[in-house]
Structure 1
Amino acid sequence: MDRLDRFFGVSGQALEVRSQRLAVLASNIANAATPGYRARDLDFAAVLADREADGRLPLVRTAAAHIDPGARPAEPALRYRRPVQGAMDGNSVELAVEQVQFAETALRYRTSLAFLDSRIGALKAAMRIE
């Protein structure tokens, strides 16, 4: 499996993180008219860096007061978005911004998927015995 991880590189993780970001953006769009709803976004670079760091830096808990090195926040890079113009009802969703972010992330998702598809095609071609 380690060889496959190296073969695909970060592309599989990138695809998963982009999928999570699409879900967050879709939630924002769905709640555009919900009073008090605060728009959120996923920091793609922070999540990917966090996943790449897993297993690379061995942390040791040397005192009982230290935070457990294996503990992770449930949503490490999920942040509230700052609106350019606030709404009277407290909703911070700016529909145009969310739609642009969703379209951009969907395009990047499809690009990652196409890259993975080409890597799988190359792997299948290498495994063919003729």
Structure 2
Amino acid sequence: MASKIDNALFFQQQALGLRAYRQQVLAGNIANADTPNYKARDFDFASALQEAVAGRGEGSLPVARTDPAHLAGTGESGPARLMYRTPAQASADGNTVEMDVERAQFSENAVRYEAGVTFINHQLKMLTAAMQAQS
């Protein structure tokens, strides 16, 4: 029974995980708005979701150890490949964060995250009602 519920919610689970990760990336951009030479980053949500659902998400790559004394690492960078944003207007200090763009993206992502949570809550209520009706 649990696997059927997992299958029913898999897509939304992947989407919420990516939305949460994107929120962290966007928050990092906003936090570094005044850092010289900071490059704003983001990822293509649709492509990342498509890869995650297909099971081709960014897996961990082995970290090369050039000396036996080096600690083994996982090389994990996150669930999506981050790319640099191209600013509409370059700043003098090399920072590519545009606060208007970042705020808009942050707000849109937050609204979509909340919509996903609401959708999952509705699905869980429907599944609960169906299970109660069966017993």
Q: CA deviation at 1:74?
A: 3.2
Q: CA deviation at 1:48?
A: 1.0
How well do the aligned residues superpose, as a CA RMSD in angstroms?
Answer: 2.0
Match of 1:59 in 2: none
The answer on 1:90 being equivalent to 2:94 is: yes
> Which whole-Å deviations, capped at 9, do the CAs of 1:41-99 have from their partners, x for residues lacking one?
021112111112217xxxxxxxxxxxxxx765734421100000010100000000000
Counterpart mapping for 1:47-58 below 5 A: 47-54=48-55
Runs (4+) of structure 1 exceeding 3 A deviation are 70-76
Match of 2:14 in 1: 13
The answer on 1:45 being equivalent to 2:46 is: yes
Match of 2:130 in 1: 126
Kindly indicate whether the alpha-carbon contact (under 8 Å) linking 1:46 and 1:77 is maintained by their aligned counterparts in 2: no
Partner SS for 1:109: helix
Kindly indicate whether the alpha-carbon contact (under 8 Å) linking 2:60 and 2:77 is maintained by their aligned counterparts in 1: no
Distance 1:118 1:23 in 2: 26
Q: CA deviation at 1:127?
A: 2.2
The answer on 1:78 being equivalent to 2:82 is: yes
Distance 1:46 1:2 in 2: 26
Match of 1:116 in 2: 120
Consecutive unaligned residues of structure 1, counting only runs of 5 or more, are: 56-69
- Matched to 1:34, the amino acid is T
- Matched to 1:123, the amino acid is L
Of structures 1 and 2, the one scoring higher in RCO (CA 8 A, sep 6+) is 1
> Which stretch of structure 1 is more off in the superposition, 17-26 or 2-11?
2-11
Consecutive unaligned residues of structure 2, counting only runs of 5 or more, are: 62-75
Identity of aligned residues (%): 42
Kindly tell me the number of residue pairs found equivalent between the two proteins: 116
